[in-house]
């Protein structure tokens, strides 16, 4: 049986994005650290709504406690319009924090 081998250090678009949700912050911290130790130089931490504060916590924990050579490259904030039950639309805040490893 032939095995397919994945080429090392091949990064597909979107591989370096961590979507922050309701899990504990350390779950996302581990995901970010795993990306950096895998050779990726830039990780994008994204969140919406109530998870924004958790995304900021993740970026700060990675930067200050685990990887001292990580810097914040950019922070983008925005608003998405989401449809909810009944056909109403609600605005939801978003954040995207780009971390780079030097």
Cα radius of gyration (the chain): 16
d(CA 42, CA 102): 9
Domains of the chain: 17-101 (3.30.110.20)
Whole-structure pTM value:
0.80
pLDDT exceeds cutoff 90 at 29: yes
Query: pLDDT for 59-101, tens place per residue?
Result: 999 999 988 889 999 999 999 998 888 888 999 999 999 999 8
- How many Cβ atoms sit within 10 Å of the Cβ of residue 2? 4
């Amino acid at each position: 049986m032939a095995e397919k081998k994945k080429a090392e250090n091949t990064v597909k678009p979107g591989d370096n994005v961590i979507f922050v949700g309701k899990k504990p912050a350390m779950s996302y911290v581990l995901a970010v650290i795993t990306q950096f130790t895998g050779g990726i130089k830039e990780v994008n931490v994204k969140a919406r709504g109530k998870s924004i504060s958790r995304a900021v916590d993740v970026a700060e924990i990675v930067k200050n406690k685990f990887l001292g050579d990580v810097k914040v490259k950019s922070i983008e904030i925005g608003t998405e319009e989401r449809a909810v039950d009944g056909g109403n639309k609600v605005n939801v805040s978003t954040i995207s924090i780009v971390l780079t490893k030097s």
